[in-house]
Structure 1
Amino acid sequence: MNKPNVGTFLGHPKGLFLLFGTEMWERFSYYGMRAILVLYLVDLVEHGGLGFSRADALSLYGTFTMLVYLTPLIGGWLADNHLGQRRSIIIGGVLMALGQFALGTPHHFVEGFEIEMFYIGLGLLVCGNGLFKPNISTMVGDLYNEGDHRRDGAFTIFYMGINLGAAFAPLVVGTIAEKAEWQYGFVAAGVGMVISVIMQLTFGKKYLGNIGIVPAAKLAQQSSESNKKEPLTAEERDRIKVIFIMGVFTIIFWAGFEQAGGLMNLFANEYTDRMIGAFEVPASWFQSVNAIFIVIFAPIIASIWVKMGDNEPTSPVKFALALVLLAIGFFFMIGATLQQGGDASVKTSMIWLIMAYLFHTLGELCLSPIGLSMVTKLAPLRLASLLMGIWFFFTALANKVAAFVGSFIGEGNEAANNALAIFSGIAITAIVSGIIMYMISGKLVDWMHGAEGQHTDSVEEKLEEELEVTAAHEGVSKQHS
């Protein structure tokens, strides 16, 4: 593969920073849209919204985010077999930009067809996401030769791009949408996507050479063809059992965590006192909190694991801890609903939400050894793609479960009581699941048969792990060899 020789920046190929920018602006587009989607759906028609009920809005949001995790399976196959990664990124980016602009079409331009235009926009976003999302991270790895010590550092930089885009987007898009019009917010998200595409079209040839041009499927088929018909060994069966067991618990974790863009977004909008002096904080701004906390706490968590050395918890124990931290986050949401006292007109303190997001983020950071990286370590080579697809399905299902749970919120004073029941139910489920995970963690490690690996003494490698968890959740984790 021809790697471009155009010099380095900060010790890395300049192509890395092109991919960094491309991904950052794409994440800006996606997270900006996601931050305002549910708020737009439930807003009154006379205020520029679509007038959905909360239950319908959350159900649609769950279906949309579920498809966001499923379509990369199709998009990745198309890129590997037909389009190549670069062409997939361009086509996907254009479709996503068109989707954002469709959502941003003023209602008076499409009077009588607002809902149809909205669904066209969502459909374009889902299809474009499928082509764009799975391909950028593989190109990051292709910038480096096998064994290049800079490769892990490159992914650390790349993951920072994801979190910068996720943190920045709700602040910009949310402010425009809530202070001006919803449609302007979607247009702003679309502009971010256009910037991403223009960067690739303008600088791709110079800084990426022919990386990502040729579909990669034939090489992969040749390397695994001889292993296709071999029966599974006992060790492989044990490792596959671990993937499925962890998959059940990952559904529970993300079903709670993903209340952020749905139910907790509505709670911030309708039941939270967002006034700071004379300024009202846009509800969508709270969607930035998770990414900001990741940037702040990832280095701290990485240092803690390194200092623990051989006493560092195993992956299943970290997962158990993550579930407990998720539950603690929902205890703060229980506190918020208790402050309401069953009266939906009472506004609660912003501190409740911020503390909930803090503990949810700490839980997410405990998942760094899990997710896609775990699947790549445990899955037999000849079943890696299938099991990766199943893992994506677990995450997709979690998003739909999250929406189903949140849809019981109801309206009026009933909503205040229902919120208490929902948050309590999630907290109890998470704690019980965490206890079960802790109790079976030893057996799961045994079934991994050494894939758990050695603990590293490198803070840099640990930091890359902590930042990778966000990317892994989104399906853009690096390919482990």
Structure 2
Amino acid sequence: MSPTSSSPEKTFFGHPRALVTLFMTEVWERFSFYGMRAILALFLSAAVVDGGLGLSTGTAAALVGVYNAMVYLAALPGGWLADRVLGPRRAVLVGGLVIMSGHVSLAVPGGAGFVYLGLALIVCGTGLLKPNISSMVGHLYEHSEASRRDAGFSLFYMGINLGALSPFVVGALGQKVSYHLGFAIAAVGMLFGVVQYAAGGRGLRGIGARPARPLTPAERTRAVRTVVLALAALALLALAAGLLGVLTLDAATVFLTAVAIAVPAGYFAYILLGDHGLTELERARMRVYLWLFLAAAVFWMIFDQAATTLTIFAATSTNLEVAGWSMPSSWTQNINPIFIILLAPLFAALWVRLGGRAGTPLKFALALVLAGLSFVAMALAATAAEGGVRVSILWLVGVYLMQTVGELCLSPVGLSVTTRLAPAAFGSQMMGVWFLAVSVGDSVGGQVARLSDGGSSPGYYLWSGVFAVLVGLVLLLFAPRLRRVMHEESLDISRNLSGSDSPPGPPLS
């Protein structure tokens, strides 16, 4: 789809004006998502008499991890629906309405049933909205504008983190007044996002209006049959588990973790081994993308524990007193988005200035090393907190600073490189594949935290951190070869893959 470069006078910080609509929609969607997530683990683990569900800390951490994983796992069918049925623009609108309904369900104080229904609705809605709004951002730029696209995604990412400041509102009301009131405020935020998106839709000028590859009648019949059979199989599996007495919340999170790992493994095999008319260059780039995907999964395994182990550490082991006033522990989740807002413009300018000299594999490797070092620091903080001591909040500030710099090296760059390396036949679906890396990391991280009794021990942080650093160093070793394939345009691909040619310019990786 052609970007709207015919109106260069209408710009947003030098970028297409349509970025404003997508930027603000993402602000409100992230307001609802991060606001709710800031209090979710606390709500699940709080005693029933305190307005919570009364789950153990480990089970609450696993459930939040799997919920996060399912949110991003749903991005794959969400991208498929946009590519084949709805079109990205309509998928974003429907997704926003479903997300809002999920938050309304959470806001109802009616017990666990409304909670699980609300989480399921948010999963489905975010799967429709998240990959497709990001894909539309990528379509604002010409294919050759890699550096400008990186900068545009960095600005878009700043919008994500403006919305992520919502724990200041949702967290305070949720912890100080009522968890359900906090969930209701998250629903209102999503409502604002839907209204803003609908009002600004004309400015998108055709981007995402139609599915890239609409289903034929025969394909539609097969798709409906597959969905019906899958739902029937899932119902039978749940029934069998119930009859055998193994249908527990922990067992469900383990099953969903296995699904979160199996789906991307199967999908990469489907893309690389199936007959989809991919060129040799597209296949080579997908193999590179697989490396980046695995690296990203390890990064998110560390990073997304902000909603579980780090929030619980803030609540139980961190001194949150400020001039005699006790800060809500959920507010510590605002540290990361504040750093993002401060640093994202600098990184956007940095990527443009470096141009093609800073390769994506180098950025990913740096992100992994920083994430790993942040958990090494957490190991030191957890050691200092043993015996009931509450440590300074500066420990968490330092941890979030390292993770934020790593995030800026990986997340907006990952969004951009996905739109650049995606085979032509897989458009929005590949953006869904990118979010599967978050799904894998979150689900595995949640299970490891559950098996570590909530992930509060120094040893848990230390070994998780060391693992991430080692993966980053391995990626750094392979960075030059990966980068050569990514930048291949006109050279003979066999020469490129054999390492005899390298891209012009002085590469940093």
TM-score (norm 2): 0.75
Does 1:424 find its partner at 2:437?
no
Does 1:105 find its partner at 2:108?
yes
Does 1:53 find its partner at 2:56?
yes
Q: The residue matched to 1:326 in structure 2 has which SS?
A: helix
Tell me, in whole angstroms, the C-alpha distance in 2 between the residues paired with 1:127 and 1:42.
Answer: 24
Report Cα offsets for 1:79-132 as digits up to 9, x if no partner.
3333333432332222111111111113xxx3xxx0111111111111111222
Tell me, in whole angstroms, the C-alpha distance in 1 between the residues paired with 2:308 and 2:35.
Answer: 14
Q: How does 1:361-440 map to 2 (within 5 A)?
A: 361-367=404-410, 371-382=414-425, 390-410=433-453, 419-440=457-478
Aligned to 2:306: 260
> Which of residues 325, 333, 336 in structure 2 aligns to 1:287?
333
**Aligned-pair distance for 1:172?**
1.1
- The verdict on how the C-alpha distance between 1:453 and 1:193 changes in structure 2, with shifts beyond 3 A counting, is farther
Does 1:277 find its partner at 2:323?
yes
Q: The residue matched to 1:346 in structure 2 has which SS?
A: coil
Aligned to 1:470: none
- The verdict on how the C-alpha distance between 1:303 and 1:441 changes in structure 2, with shifts beyond 3 A counting, is same
**Aligned-pair distance for 1:42?**
0.7
Of stretches 152-161 and 430-439 in structure 1, the one that deviates more from structure 2 is: 152-161
Amino acid at match of 2:314: A
- The verdict on how the C-alpha distance between 1:454 and 1:119 changes in structure 2, with shifts beyond 3 A counting, is farther
* Number of equivalences: 433
Aligned to 2:213: 217
**Aligned-pair distance for 1:195?**
1.2
**Aligned-pair distance for 1:254?**
1.4
Aligned to 1:477: none
Q: How does 1:316-395 map to 2 (within 5 A)?
A: 316-340=361-385, 342-343=386-387, 345-367=388-410, 371-382=414-425, 390-395=433-438
Tell me, in whole angstroms, the C-alpha distance in 1 between the residues paired with 2:353 and 2:469.
Answer: 27
Tell me, in whole angstroms, the C-alpha distance in 2 between the residues paired with 1:104 and 1:142.
Answer: 36
Aligned to 1:180: 177
**Aligned-pair distance for 1:163?**
1.8
**Aligned-pair distance for 1:386?**
6.6
- The verdict on how the C-alpha distance between 1:309 and 1:139 changes in structure 2, with shifts beyond 3 A counting, is closer
Q: The residue matched to 2:306 in structure 1 has which SS?
A: coil
- The verdict on how the C-alpha distance between 1:165 and 1:388 changes in structure 2, with shifts beyond 3 A counting, is closer
**Contact 2:161–2:341 (CA<8 Å) still a contact in 1?**
yes
Q: The residue matched to 1:348 in structure 2 has which SS?
A: coil
Tell me, in whole angstroms, the C-alpha distance in 2 between the residues paired with 1:238 and 1:143.
Answer: 25
Report Cα offsets for 1:253-293 as digits up to 9, x if no partner.
21111111111111111111111111111111121211211
Tell me, in whole angstroms, the C-alpha distance in 1 between the residues paired with 2:341 and 2:313.
Answer: 25
**Aligned-pair distance for 1:63?**
1.3
- The verdict on how the C-alpha distance between 1:134 and 1:445 changes in structure 2, with shifts beyond 3 A counting, is closer
**Contact 2:45–2:52 (CA<8 Å) still a contact in 1?**
yes
Amino acid at match of 2:459: A
**Aligned-pair distance for 1:307?**
6.5
Report Cα offsets for 1:381-419 as digits up to 9, x if no partner.
3566776554443331111011112223427xxx7xx52
- The verdict on how the C-alpha distance between 1:228 and 1:289 changes in structure 2, with shifts beyond 3 A counting, is same
Aligned to 1:474: none
TM-score (norm 1): 0.79
Of stretches 396-405 and 134-143 in structure 1, the one that deviates more from structure 2 is: 134-143
- The verdict on how the C-alpha distance between 1:393 and 1:8 changes in structure 2, with shifts beyond 3 A counting, is closer
Aligned to 2:114: 117
Aligned to 2:44: 41
Instruction: Could you tell me which runs of 5 or more consecutive residues in structure 1 were left unpaired when the two chains were aligned.
Output: 222-226, 458-481
Does 1:132 find its partner at 2:129?
yes
- The verdict on how the C-alpha distance between 1:450 and 1:145 changes in structure 2, with shifts beyond 3 A counting, is closer
**Contact 2:3–2:142 (CA<8 Å) still a contact in 1?**
no
Tell me, in whole angstroms, the C-alpha distance in 2 between the residues paired with 1:173 and 1:278.
Answer: 22
